[in-house]
A and B are shown apart, each in its own frame.
Chain A
């Protein structure tokens, strides 16, 4: 088959699109940076792609709250295309602002609680202001959870990635959290609960979640910022003799898993 095709969605204020593009290319995908206007106008068809990536940034300035305007735009102007994309078993990843968008569309965590069986996208969780009340740029240890998430299949049990956000505190009502746990939808947790190891005060130290199928994935940390060893903040401390097989950064596996899944299943 041809290389899996990734649509990297852009709009005003998207700013992690270039490195997300690099990540998918390194993983072996064919990529396209597409402005949402071109999807809405029909100039580009979402159905031509197998992976939808919503990168980090400040979509529309994060006016009102992070990601909400882009979420509303997607929900109301791309309703059918999005529903079809998901129904076709294709993959969606939202990173940082993209995660905020997915949560606000209701695509994540995609739980059934109080959904009344309708297919309408409803928001069940949120990403609130960090408990530190400020933007935080730092590297965090993540613990990979047992989950159906296809993006983290066979990934290392502990992963090191940077966060850079002001609104990253994942929080949801108790029943939603309980359902997430029951479905193993928590993909990554911050390794410890106390600040700054949990950089934003997330409930249950949640750093990333997937939908029940494992094909829609959102996370606050930035895997696209750790593609090679030299992105690691302490690479100068590694022994100089370290062998070259470790030149790959922790983040790349997430993109490779997505590409491999498409190759095997779609």
Chain B
């Protein structure tokens, strides 16, 4: 490759030639888009340069512009077209936030992360991203640069937030998968698992950011397409939340040098993977956390001295996206030969598109340049003036004096034709699993083994071996750890931190994710993910009133109508449930094309439709927080919220080889009242421990509370409140109905608690016992579970121990 610029001959190209250019250049542009570019340049009477067409391809990539979420969708359900949707994002996500209209939302969907109010001095920013495709090919580098990238999103929000917390959620194939079944060209899930954890660990720990919340899920369909969600929370002064760019401001690159790493990352992640993708090494970036730490150290000083007017990170598309976005409304000119390179020999388009990590672009008024450079030098950080923001409304790129790109900002940002896509939704029908109960008063059904199997199933089993590799205490503000209980090893529902040391004001971060319910209905999966995230917030002492949400959709190929139909279902649930709970979305992202194609057999596999909901809640006083471990013998155990016969997609059905059809429904009227009441009860100090009922239902939640606290429990299912006629013991135990909690109440607070909760379905289950026995009596009165908490804890701790 040489330092020259090539003209791409599209003016005379036919359809086949246009598609060849797109495919061979990894442009990921479809025919309609290629033709739009052809028409645009036809009117100009010239061909585009490689720099220009690459810039357009990056800017128009699914990764950067989220065109599926903005497209027009013709949606059919059960075989008939029901509606036309003008953009999933504006219709279901953005509109939810507008309708909810929370006064504490400072900035939503417009900056690199969402911003909400924290206290008199600071706001909070929160963003979650995915780095799925790179992590599939190179787990360590892909995951590390995933967390590195989302940290830069916080740093690139407003005038820059200080990163204060990381959150990581991973989805992998089954760790015990036989090598013989591994799809061609893919890495074994165990290797992906280890590499991803190590990548996130080494980046987050070196940056000095606590990683205190997360989840790990397993499903064989993630084997070829693992999911790596990385989130970052930042703290930003209230008067540093807005940015602007003025013509005459300098385009300044701050941070690492530019190399050939990560070229085409944006377009690569906008396509399916196949068995040859592993050879695409150059699309994965190379991370250097210490460089990023230095940038944070330097830029936060510059921010506090007001030395720049705007900032964004170089992520997908590199400088082309960063400068193109910052100058969208005015124009910019950039001189590529000024870019600090790792090594010589890069073609201009490569410099322009490189996704080399740890680079930020800032807009600096010329009079502030010398002070900015001095700060950067003092922190060993390079700052390079690349050009100037202009008033030409053009993106003009020069290389050694010659113009190599001359693009209208209007065409670049608004020229993308809005696609029309077809979506269909056909409800599946799975075999139903009958209750294994022998009926009330009959026989001696035992579910002890089922409970052990559930606790040992990889989605539920302890993730301690991973959590301990993350520094969750750095910055000194963590007050509820990810591991809690008498031996510091129980599964906390969420983490709580005090971002300002010495203040009692806290932040809770939690998440919800239920891809198994997508096999029944993605609507229920999405609704349940929201409910679960909110339950986790409430369980540690938060309120839904002060909670904001983030949505991260990971889906299969949206050009396939069934995949898109599933996406429509999920988006509809986002609107319905978020508005019902009054919890706005403040940021989100989607990663589509998570599919794998075997090029020899033609076999095509998609991931389960996966929506991650992340939740952030501000609480006035962390001293009112609670944890999930039981505290003392003699205390009473209650279930809060109605149980229904909802085992579709449940773990209980799963261990018996069934999916079923009745996935948990969210009933926001019930759920909202339950959560609001419970929050107040916790605030009143009546609740000694609280755990959300999710995977594995009441049985798993109660068992986890018992062994985390080091005490036994004697429970009785007689009083479990039900919303339907469910009476089978196994259904009561393992149903995964939403909006439910298990709480521990001290005897002296029992009356106050029961009175206060009188209009919410609650049921007295039993007591905490000194004896370390976990006993559950079924409706017949005889024990259906009887074992020691040590046996249960060991079942839960062993599977992912190393």
Contacts and interface: CB of A to CB of B under 8 A. Distances in A.
Given A16-B474, A134-B469, A230 B486 contact: no
Given A13-B293, A58-B290, A61-B289, A231 B208 contact: no
A2 interface: no
Contact of A15 (B293, B378, B501): B293
Nearest to A58: B206
Nearest to B380: A12
Interface string A72-101: 000000000000000000000000000000
Interface string B285-317: 000111001100100000000000000000000
Q: Is the interface of B mostly helix, strand, loop or mixed?
A: loop
Interface centre among A37, A38, A164 (most CB of B within 10 A): A164
B631 A231 contact: no
Interface residues of A, number: 38
Contacts of B473: 137, 162, 164, 222, 225, 231
A13 B476 contact: no
Interface centre among A22, A56, A60, A227 (most CB of B within 10 A): A22
Interface stretch (A111-119, A173-181, A234-242, A256-264): A234-242
Interface centre among B294, B378, B471, B481 (most CB of A within 10 A): B471
A214 interface: no
A135 B206 contact: no
B468 A61 contact: no
Nearest to A19: B476
A136 interface: yes
Given A58-B290, A137-B468, A19 B379 contact: no
Contacts, number: 111
B274 interface: no
Contacts of A240: 685
Contacts of B206: 13, 15, 58, 61
Interface string B682-694: 0001000100000
A236 B626 contact: yes
A199 B483 CA distance: 17
Contacts of B502: 22, 26
A139 B471 CA distance: 12
A157 interface: no
A35 B685 CA distance: 46
B207 interface: yes
Contacts of A227: 476, 501
B333 interface: no
Contacts of B297: 10, 12
Contacts of B685: 240
Contacts of A18: 475-476, 501
Given A134-B469, A135-B470, 7 more contacts: A12-B294, A35-B379, A56-B474, A60-B290, A135-B205, A137-B469, A236-B626
9 contacts: A12-B294, A12-B297, A14-B208, A15-B206, A15-B293, A18-B501, A222-B473, A225-B474, A233-B484
Interface of A: 10, 12-16, 18-19, 22, 26, 35, 37-38, 56-58, 60-61, 134-139, 162, 164, 222, 224-225, 227, 230-231, 233-237, 240
Interface of B: 201, 205-208, 288-290, 293-294, 297, 378-380, 467-481, 483-486, 488, 498, 501-502, 622-623, 625-627, 629, 631, 685, 689
Which 7 pairs of residues, A with B, have the shortest CB-CB distance?
A: A15-B208, A19-B476, A61-B290, A164-B471, A236-B627, A230-B479, A58-B206
